[in-house]
Homo-oligomer: A and B are copies of this chain.
Amino acid sequence: MRYFVRFSYRGTDFHGSQSQPNAVTVQQTMEEAFSLVLRTPVALVFAGRTDAGVHARVMVAHFDFPDSLDERLHRLAERLNSLLPASIAIYDIWQVPDSLHARFSALSRTYEYVVCLRKDPFWVGRAARVAPDMDFEAMNRAAQVLLGTHDFSSFCRTQTDVQTKVCTLTEAQWQQVGDVWVFRITANRFLRNMVRAVVGTLFEVGRHRMTQQAFADVLEACDRTCAGQSAPPEALYLTQILYP
């Protein structure tokens, strides 16, 4: 039987989401807890991977288990939460059809990138600081060229094993939320490092060091060296994953 898990984590304490040797990752930490509580090795399939330092307000994963967990589901989340570190929280666990896949069935993912315009002790390690004269309107105009279906090679780490770098974006916009600005970006899929490369390049536009046309040219070029530096990871949050 297949189960979905909805959870969140603060990326600060982890070397990314995906298991790798010699580094503490979210996946490894969670698999250890699940295996301990369910008394059998449990493999989790994440909806996606997040880079080191990137947070997830919502992440989804699936796992398969031979028996029905029905009556144990509520207690299971509780027991996992008491076992897992404070930086990971399990919200729900529920049964799904075997055909549903946390990664391949996801229709869209949404990320949010948070910046603050002045020194703020309560956003340290949780947002990027930018100059107060950052031109958000210019960034919003430039970001419009990202909407629709494009090859995002210019905004992808060069060493990656995906077969295609074509993504379909449905949302890419800066909005003021309280005392911070948030860039919300939604796509059917994201490439490694993509949001941070997009945001870092938009910063160049916001600082008037790159024109709107030059930003469009970066996308066209399909060459990572054309884009700006990656924006820092600690300000990036995975916030939504949609399923059919």
Contact = CB atoms under 8 A, between A and B. Distances in A.
Interface of A: 8-10, 55, 57, 81, 86-91, 118-122, 124, 126
Contact of A122 (B57, B118, B121, B124): B57
Contacts of A124: 10, 86-87
Contact of A89 (B57, B81, B88, B120): B120
Main secondary structure of the interface of A (DSSP, over half): mixed
A119 B81 contact: yes
B121 A87 contact: yes
A229 B78 CA distance: 26
Contacts of A57: 122
Contacts of A119: 81, 86, 89-90
A113 to B, nearest CB: 15
Contact of A121 (B89, B118, B120, B121): B89
Nearest to A13: B121
A28 B57 CA distance: 37
Nearest to A121: B10
Contacts of A10: 121-122, 124
A190 B205 CA distance: 49
**Top 10 A-B pairs ranked by shortest CB distance?**
A89-B119, A10-B121, A86-B124, A87-B121, A81-B119, A89-B121, A9-B121, A8-B121, A89-B120, A88-B121
A152 to B, nearest CB: 29
Contacts of A120: 8, 89
A86 B121 contact: yes
A13 to B, nearest CB: 9
Contacts of A81: 119
Given A9-B121, A55-B121, A86-B124, 4 more contacts: A55-B122, A87-B121, A87-B124, A90-B119
A29 to B, nearest CB: 12
Contacts of A86: 119, 121, 124
